[in-house]
C-alpha cells in the first residue's frame, strides 16, 4: 500500500514555542490531506482538511491561527502548533487521500511542558 | 445515535480464538475501512471495502451493503493482534473524502 511519512514521531516543547509537524506522501500525489487530533482512549477528531495550493478548511471549534496548516505540494502538508500550551498536548495524525483510500501517517505525540 | 456503531467496545480473547468485530452504519457510503491502531501508535489501513469480502492473511472483512453492516474476523488470534480496531466510512458527496469513524474496539488477546 501507499506510504505516508509523518515526522517527528514525538516532540517535547516548552510552553509558548511553536512546533511543526510534517506529513509526506512518499509514493503518490495526495490532492487532499487531513489532520486529526486524538485524545487518550478517544476516537480521531478531524481538525482540518487541506488541499494542495489552497487554504485549509478548519472544523468548527479549531483555531486556525493556532493550528497553521500548509499544503505546499501534492506530497507535503505541514501542521504548525503556534504558541503551544500544555492543553495542546495530544496525539496528532495526518491522512493522505488517494481516491477513496485512506493512508495514515505514524502520528506525532506532542507534549508541551 | 452515532452514524457508525461498533461492537463490542472491548474484547478479550485467548490466543487461537476466532474473533469477530461488527460495524453498522446509518449513512450512504462509497467505501468502508477497517483500521488498526496499536497503543501509542499510528493507524494502519487493513481493508477498504465497497462490496463483498476481502481476505489478507488471518484477517477477513465482509460487508453487506443492503443491511449496512460489516464484520472484521481474525482467525487463529495471536497476542500481537492486540490493538484498537476502528471502522470508518467514506461518505458520498464532494471531493474531500471525509471519514466518519466508529468508536473503536479494544482487543486484547491473551497468551
Nearest CA in chain A to B34: A102
CA distance B66 to A2: 30
What's the 3-state SS for A36-93?
EEECCCCCEEEEEEEECCCCCEECCCCCCCCEEEEEEECCEEEEEECCCCHHHCEEEE
Identify the pLDDT of residue A102: 82
Q: Would you call B48 and A93 a contact, using CB atoms and an 8 Å cutoff?
A: no
Closest chain A residue to the Cα of B92, Cα to Cα: A100
Query: Looking at residue A89, what is its pLDDT?
Result: 96
The predicted structure's pLDDT at residue B80: 95
Which residues does chain A have with pLDDT short of 50?
A: none
pLDDT at A72: 81
Cα A89 from Cα B91, distance rounded (Å): 30
Residues on chain A touching B103 (C-beta within 8 angstroms): 43
Residue contact A109–B40, C-beta within 8 A:
yes
Ranges of chain B with pLDDT below 70: 92-96
Q: pLDDT for B13-39, tens place per residue? A: 999 999 999 999 999 998 999 999 998
> Residues A96-113: pLDDT tens digits?
987 777 899 999 999 999
Mutate to test the interface with B, among A1, A25, A59, A100 (most CBs of B within 10 A): A100
Q: Kindly determine whether residue A101 and residue B42, on different chains, have CB atoms separated by under 8 Å.
A: no
Contacts of A105 in chain B (CB under 8 A): 42
Cα→Cα distances B14→A60, B5, B61, B80, B104, Å: 43, 25, 21, 12, 20
pLDDT value of position B94 = 55
Nearest partner of B18 among B68, B49, B69, B60, judged by Cα? B60
Which residue of A44, A99, A107 is in closest CB contact with B41? A107
The three cell numbers of residue A17 are 514555542
Please answer yes or no on whether B98 and A107 come within 8 Å at the CB atom.
Answer: no
Q: How many CB atoms lie within 10 A of CB B75?
A: 13
Q: Is some CB atom of chain A closer than 8 A to the CB atom of B74?
A: no
Amino acid at each position: 500500500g501507499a506510504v505516508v511519512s509523518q515526522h517527528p514521531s514525538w516532540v517535547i516543547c516548552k510552553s509558548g514555542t511553536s512546533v511543526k509537524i510534517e506529513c509526506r506522501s512518499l509514493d503518490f500525489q495526495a490532492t487532499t490531506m487531513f489532520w486529526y487530533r486524538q485524545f487518550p482512549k478517544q476516537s480521531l477528531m478531524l481538525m482540518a482538511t487541506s488541499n494542495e495550493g489552497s487554504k485549509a478548511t478548519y472544523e468548527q471549534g479549531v483555531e486556525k491561527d493556532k493550528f497553521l496548516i500548509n499544503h505546499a505540494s501534492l506530497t507535503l502538508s505541514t501542521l504548525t502548533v503556534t504558541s503551544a500550551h500544555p492543553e495542546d498536548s495530544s496525539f496528532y495524525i495526518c491522512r493522505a487521500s488517494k481516491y477513496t483510500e485512506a493512508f495514515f501517517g505514524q502520528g506525532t505525540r506532542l507534549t508541551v511542558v | 445515535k452515532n452514524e457508525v456503531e461498533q461492537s463490542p467496545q472491548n474484547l478479550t480473547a485467548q490466543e487461537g480464538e476466532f474473533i469477530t468485530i461488527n460495524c453498522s452504519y446509518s449513512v450512504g457510503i462509497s467505501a468502508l475501512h477497517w483500521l488498526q491502531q496499536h497503543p501509542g501508535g499510528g493507524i494502519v489501513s487493513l481493508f477498504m471495502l465497497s462490496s463483498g469480502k476481502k481476505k489478507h492473511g488471518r484477517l477477513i472483512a465482509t460487508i453487506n451493503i443492503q443491511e449496512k453492516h460489516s464484520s472484521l474476523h481474525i482467525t487463529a488470534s495471536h497476542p500481537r493482534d492486540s490493538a484498537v480496531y476502528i471502522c470508518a466510512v467514506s461518505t458520498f458527496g464532494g471531493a474531500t473524502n471525509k471519514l466518519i469513524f466508529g468508536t473503536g474496539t479494544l482487543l486484547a488477546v491473551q497468551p
